[in-house]
Amino acid sequence: VGPLGKPTEIKNYGTVVCAGGGVGTAPLLPIVEALKKAGNRVITVIAGRSKELIILEKEMQEYSDEVIIMTDDGSYGEKMFTTQKLEELIQKGEKFDEIVAVGPPIMMKLVCQIAEKYNIPSVASLTAYMIDGTGMCGGCRCKIGGEDKFVCVDGPEFDGALVDWDDLIKRSAYYKEQEAEDRAHVCRLTGGVRYHD
């Protein structure tokens, strides 16, 4: 299928921070590119647990005025979380006109809370929650500003200050036990080869 949901709102905001965590860096790349081509100053923060999990650094450098790398274990870039770096930049006097976050829900929640704390508009991309793309299955339902929305048709991007992060995180863990069982599954038809690691 082609792109689902509504197009990303791209315009010249001024200075935009684009924060990508883990595989969230992949859907962030076209946003970074479009924001740069619209005339924005783009600061991109890429985060991962370790150096091996940092992706698309070279591609991000092509469209960013600055790329900052963060790793949880300090194996590459700076050893701190995206949220810590973001707050550090703001406290040093950087003025941001928009913050875009794509990644794990807890990272997006904290990034959007920092944006709200400093009165900076934020956008959270909930692309990871899309399932069927029609709004029929309800698997991507989330609460935005107290209303039920479907990521695949109403999103995937929402005002970060309006997302009910606690509900979203709770729903994300709903099938945790079943997912763990699936990862441990050994297929007897393939001679014991495991495909879900």
Q: What is the mean pLDDT of the chain?
A: 90
Query: What residues does 43 pair with on adjacent strands?
Result: 17, 66
* Greater pLDDT, 56 or 139: 56
The owner of tokens 């995180």 is 169
The pLDDT of residue 40:
98
pLDDT of 144 reads 97
Nearest to 172 by CA among 141, 134, 132, 150: 141
pLDDT score of 9: 95
Average the pLDDT over 70-79 and give the result. 95
pLDDT tens, position by position, 84-130: 999 999 999 999 999 999 999 999 999 999 999 999 999 999 987 77
- Over residues 158-173, the mean pLDDT reads 92
Please determine, for residue 38, whether its predicted confidence score (pLDDT) is greater than 90.
yes
Give me the pLDDT at residue 134, please: 75
Q: Which residues of 5-26 are buried (b: 16+ CB within 10 A; e: fewer)?
A: beebeeeebebbbbbbbbbbbe
Q: Rounded to two decimals, what is the model's pTM?
A: 0.87
